[in-house]
């Protein structure tokens, strides 16, 4: 039996749509996601459609409140990928620099805004700027994505399928990945507060007046 080769374009569409769905709710965002879903395909598209339909049934103010409650009030559901790999340690600054360096090498302008390891930002970078570098960054933080996905499943969150869609575009998880994700979820990330300095290098969040299929990372 021949396995169907995944389309790079399909992954980029999935990443851009997931970036929209996992971003803070704004007017017109779901319409843009719907347009992308018209061209998406495969398992990722099916999962993204589930999240899209669920969010369609919520008014914007309620969606914003639920978004904050989901991602800002639950540590396990953080979308800052280096939190799970480095925790509150000196290593986290270096880990975030890996993202920032990838953006710089791709020619991305880095004004003040969201942190470089924030999942919607990484997804938009992978979709619209450098798919190879973006896929590498996502793949290197698959364990963090697994922790996030399970936290959203446990919370019965409509955002869980969108994260599952992202996972479906990456290499398959190993047994070691899943064991590490379970351990991190139970025990938390590495902890060390000594000598930390604020990390302020950031990339721009998507603005309401920016074309969601192109320009936030240009």
> In sequence order, what DSSP letters do the residues of the chain get, joined into one string?
-PPPPPPHHHHHHHHHHHHHHTSPP-TTHHHHHHHHHTT--HHHHHHHHHHHHHHHTS-HHHHHHHHHHHHTS-GGG--BTHHHHH-BSHHHHHHHHHHHHHHHHTT----SSB-TTBHHHHHHHHHHT-HHHHHHHHHHTHHHHHHHHHHHHHTT-TTHHHHHHHHHTSPPPPHHHHHHHHHHHHH-S-B--TT-------BPPPPTTS-TTTGGG-
- Tell me what pLDDT residue 208 has: 42
Of 4-8, 51-55, 104-108, the range with the lowest mean pLDDT is 4-8
Tell me how many domains the chain contains.
Answer: 1
Residue holding tokens 């803070």?
A: 24
pLDDT tens, 142-162? 999 999 999 999 999 999 999
Whichever domain contains 108, its CATH number is 1.10.3480
Q: What is the pTM of this model?
A: 0.80
pLDDT tops 90 at residue 139: yes
76 occurs within a structural domain: yes
- Tell me what pLDDT residue 189 has: 67
pLDDT tops 80 at residue 2: no
Of 18-22, 63-67, 213-217, the range with the lowest mean pLDDT is 213-217
108 occurs within a structural domain: yes
State which residues form the domain around 167.
Answer: 8-187
Closest C-alpha among 115, 106, 127, 110 to residue 86: 115
pLDDT tens, 163-216? 999 999 998 877 777 777 777 777 666 664 434 333 333 333 444 444 433 444
The two three-digit tokens of residue 72, written as one number: 């800002």
- Tell me what pLDDT residue 6 has: 60
32 occurs within a structural domain: yes
209 occurs within a structural domain: no
134 occurs within a structural domain: yes
100 occurs within a structural domain: yes
145 occurs within a structural domain: yes
Query: How far is it, in rounded angstroms, from Cα 131 to Cα 207?
Result: 22
Query: How far is it, in rounded angstroms, from Cα 65 to Cα 165?
Result: 23
Chain-centre distance of CA 76, in angstroms? Answer: 14
pLDDT tops 80 at residue 101: yes
216 occurs within a structural domain: no
């Amino acid at each position: 039996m021949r396995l169907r080769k995944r389309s790079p374009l399909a992954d980029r569409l999935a990443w851009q749509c997931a970036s929209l769905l996992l971003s803070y709710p704004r007017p017109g965002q779901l319409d843009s996601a719907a347009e992308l879903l018209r061209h998406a395909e495969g398992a990722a598209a099916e999962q993204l459609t589930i999240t899209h339909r669920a969010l369609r049934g919520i008014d914007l103010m309620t969606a914003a409140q639920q978004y904050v409650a989901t991602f800002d009030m639950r540590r396990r559901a953080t979308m800052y990928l280096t939190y799970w790999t480095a925790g509150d340690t000196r290593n986290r600054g270096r880990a975030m620099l890996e993202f920032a360096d990838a953006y710089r090498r791709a020619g991305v302008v880095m004004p003040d805004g969201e942190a470089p390891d924030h999942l919607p930002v990484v997804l938009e970078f992978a979709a619209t700027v450098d798919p190879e570098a973006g896929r590498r960054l996502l793949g290197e933080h698959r364990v963090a994505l697994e922790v996030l996905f399970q936290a959203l499943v446990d919370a019965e969150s409509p955002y869980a399928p969108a994260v599952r869609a992202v996972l479906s575009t990456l290499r398959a998880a190993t047994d070691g990945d899943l064991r590490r994700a379970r351990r991190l979820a139970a025990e938390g990330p590495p902890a060390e507060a000594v000598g930390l300095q604020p990390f302020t290098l950031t990339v721009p969040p998507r603005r309401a007046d920016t074309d969601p299929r192109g320009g936030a990372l240009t």
